[in-house]
Amino acid sequence: MLVKVSVENFKSFDKAAELTMISSNKIRTNANHRLKIKSTQLLKYAVVYGANASGKTNLALFFKFFKDSVCNGIPIEATQMFCKNRQENKERESSFEIQITVGDKFYAYGFSAVLSRRKVTGEWLYELYQNGSAKCLFEREGSKRPVLNDGITLTNTEKNKFETYADDFEGNETSLFLTEMNRGKKYSTRSKLLFFRDVYDWIQNHISIITPDTPLIDLEYYYDDNSLKLINKLIKTFDTGISQVKIEEITLDELSNALPKSVFDKMMQHVKNRMEEQEEPSFRMTMRSKETFFNIEVEGHSEPKVTTIRLHHNKSFYEFGFDEESDGTRRLFDLMDMLLNKREDVLYVVDELERSLHPKLTERFLQLFMQLHDEQRMQLLFTTHESSIMDQAIFRRDEIWFVERNAENASSIDFIDHFDDTFSNLYFYGDTGIGKTFLSNCVAKELMDHGHSVIYFTAFQLFDILSKGVFAKDEEAIAANENIFTCDLLIIDDLGTELTNSFTTSQLFLCLNERILHRKSTIISTNLGLSQLTDLYSERILSRIMDNYVLIKLFGEDIRMQKRRR
């Protein structure tokens, strides 16, 4: 299972950013969202929320890049993947690390590289222990010879083999040693070098990445009778109008005519590679392009059997092809593998889970995923900008992460984790009932649990306190005024719902400006867009917010209305 990831100088991530799946001991809700491995409680879900262009997709791309680099070598396009917000980043090291469990063992594997030159500058693998200590299994520095831990006792045969592999690899700056140790190498069941195979296998076979624009997806569920029954049962629960899913066999020529040549050639090369990996090939896989959906079955060395799906709708005389369905229905079939897969220890990374789906369909999908994999070692990490997904009834607070862009146009993960060392302010805006207050309260609770002072006011309450301090000389109000300017975090909820006048405008500017000068963070939630903010207050206030706040627009359907319809 995934434990933690860290990334630095990659895409929009400039400084080191981390995301952890280790659960918080302070949160008691949804205890079934955790799995205990030894003494560590790991979360099964992570929701990565961010506004458009915040960098959340780049977190999903990290997993794709990491997997591609380990399995196939650092890709050519990596030369442009360094963080481009600073000139020196082109020649600066980028760093990548994942911490995982394989069985009941904990590992940390990572590498560093100058991406612009595809030059590997370091690589390491550690075994981690529950007491916080770690043992280095192997490491390499630049083109130097990889070094194995002295405490690993090898047989003479294994020692000679490793020495040969390490000697041959010396001087290599373009490949990863973990990859090399899995290129045609065989390990006995008692080998002390099995960690090379185990870690590589987890990265290669236990991470599944699904993005909205992936032209070709290799999924695993089969069109056998049992799977087809379950697919039909599940598809009806989504209220798509589909009453039955059928399969229809087609020829390779028909498949070739249905796909662009480049996609067909890529798919057939993929099938060929899979066949060459096995002496007696036997596998099935599902291939999905934008408007097509095919299942390919290989038994032995005979021609692959190809099937496609046909869909029957309620009260419809004719069947429909996959290309005739809506984007939302097609998206459901992208995600169906996640519901049907019964393999243990799989991490699904999904970019924009809600893409083309109605919020209620997204919620229903998440509920089904949790029900079907309740007792499995299966994790789901997904990005979204749909605020209604983050309902506290669905997810724990420690499962929700925020990606934001700072003033230097670099992404960071989580406002809370960097609160002590980074000055940042948030401006949540969007329609009524989409979760702005809920998000603010989540942040407030976490920061208070970490010992920070947080004050929450609705806009009406804030200006009422400020006016009493100025005009009535109320002692309690005067004391509250001081706290408003000095607390670690001030939350102003529903800005724009108060009665606005010259006093509220001047006091709002004073409050925001003083807190910026003293580097005290503020969260504002409002229904007001930026143009409305200028009309209601002033250009000076807009200027302060534009220059010093991360603007996060929330999308979605009114959560209160959704709950009333349930």
Reduce the DSSP state of residue 120 to 3 states and report it: strand
pLDDT tops 70 at residue 466? yes
* pLDDT on residue 137: 96
Report which of 447, 488, 203 is spatially closest to residue 349, judged by C-alpha positions.
Answer: 203
What's the pLDDT tens digit per position in 102-159?
999 999 999 999 999 999 999 999 999 998 899 999 999 999 999 999 889 999 999 9
Report which of 95, 71, 64 is spatially closest to residue 181, judged by C-alpha positions.
Answer: 71
* pLDDT on residue 563: 54
Task: Taking the CA atoms of 257, 261, 265 and 271 in sequence, report the sign of the dihedral they define.
Answer: negative
* pLDDT on residue 182: 94
Q: Could you tell me the pTM of the whole model?
A: 0.76
Per-residue pLDDT, averaged over 419-447, amounts to 81
pLDDT tops 90 at residue 101? yes
* pLDDT on residue 326: 80
* Ordered DSSP codes for 500-562: --HHHHHHHHHHHHHHHHTT-EEEEEES--HHHHHHHS-HHHHHHHHHH-EEEE-BS--HHHH
**Cα(118)–Cα(282) distance, integer angstroms:** 36
pLDDT tops 70 at residue 505? yes
Measured CA distances, 426 to 133, 379, 496, 529 (Å):
37, 29, 16, 14
DSSP symbol at 345: S
Could you tell me if 370 and 363 are in contact, meaning their C-beta atoms sit under 8 angstroms apart?
A: no
Could you tell me if 177 and 140 are in contact, meaning their C-beta atoms sit under 8 angstroms apart?
A: yes
* pLDDT on residue 392: 56
Residue 238 phi, psi dihedral angles, 5° rounding = -90, 0
* pLDDT on residue 202: 97
**Cα(174)–Cα(164) distance, integer angstroms:** 19
* pLDDT on residue 281: 80
Could you tell me if 548 and 523 are in contact, meaning their C-beta atoms sit under 8 angstroms apart?
A: no
**Cα(111)–Cα(443) distance, integer angstroms:** 33
pLDDT tops 70 at residue 562? no
Per-residue pLDDT, averaged over 188-206, amounts to 94
pLDDT tops 90 at residue 308? no
In this prediction, residue 327 has a pLDDT band, given cuts at 50, 70 and 90, of confident
pLDDT tops 60 at residue 336? yes
pLDDT tops 90 at residue 199? yes
Q: What is the dihedral of CA 344, 347, 351, 354, to 10 degrees?
A: 40
Per-residue pLDDT, averaged over 98-104, amounts to 96
- Residue 472: other Cβ atoms inside 10 A: 10
Q: 99-113, 196-210, 327-341: which range is least confident on average?
A: 327-341
Reduce the DSSP state of residue 23 to 3 states and report it: coil
**Cα(117)–Cα(120) distance, integer angstroms:** 9
Q: Which amino acid is at 394?
A: I
pLDDT tops 80 at residue 299? yes
**Cα(313)–Cα(325) distance, integer angstroms:** 11
Could you tell me if 107 and 128 are in contact, meaning their C-beta atoms sit under 8 angstroms apart?
A: yes
Structure-token pair, residue 119: 């030059």
Report which of 292, 533, 413 is spatially closest to residue 18, judged by C-alpha positions.
Answer: 413
